[in-house]
Amino acid sequence: MMQAFRQRTGGASALAADLRGIAGLEVREDVPLAPFTTFRIGGPARLFLRPADRGALERAVAFLGRRGIGFRVLGRGSNLLVDDRGVDLVLAPSGLQGLEGAGAAGRLRAEA
C-alpha cells in the first residue's frame, strides 16, 4: 500500500509540503497513533492532518479528493485497532463537533 501511496502522491514529504499550504491545517509526519486509541496500540500515520475548523477540513478533503488520495478518519479512537505497520494518511477532525455538509467530493458527516 505504501508504494501505491508513494506513486500517487510523490511520497509523504512531498504531499505534506503541498498540504501545509492549506490554511488552518496542522500537518505532521510519522505520528504514532497508539496514544489516540483507547487500546493504546498501533503504528504511525505517515501523514497526520488535524484541521482547526470546518473550513480547513473542507479544504483538506477537497484537496485530497481532487488528487484521488484516500485517507482514514480518526475520531476519538474508541474500539479502533491500527495496524502496527501504520497507515498512510489520517485525518483527525476530533476537535470539531457535529459536522454536516456536502461538498464537491461527496458527503461529510462526522459526529462520533
The mean predicted confidence, pLDDT, of the chain is 83
% helix, strand, coil for the chain, step of 5: 30, 30, 40
Q: Which of 20, 17, 93 is nearest to 58 (CA)?
A: 93
Q: Which of 54, 52, 92 is nearest to 72 (CA)?
A: 92
CATH assignment at residue 65: 3.30.43.10
30 and 72 Cβ atoms separated by less than 8 Å: no
Q: What are phi and psi of 10, to 5 degrees?
A: 85, 5
21 and 5 Cβ atoms separated by less than 8 Å: no
83 and 43 Cβ atoms separated by less than 8 Å: yes
Residue 65 forms part of a structural domain: yes
Residue 105 forms part of a structural domain: no
Mean pLDDT of 9-18: 84
Counting the structural domains of the chain, the total is 1
Residue 100 forms part of a structural domain: no
Residue 33 forms part of a structural domain: yes
pLDDT digits (tens, 9 = 90+) for 33-69: 999 999 999 999 999 999 999 899 999 999 999 999 9
Residue 104 forms part of a structural domain: no
111 has a pLDDT exceeding 90: no
pLDDT digits (tens, 9 = 90+) for 95-107: 666 555 555 556 6
Range of the domain at 31: 12-17+27-88
Residue 37 forms part of a structural domain: yes
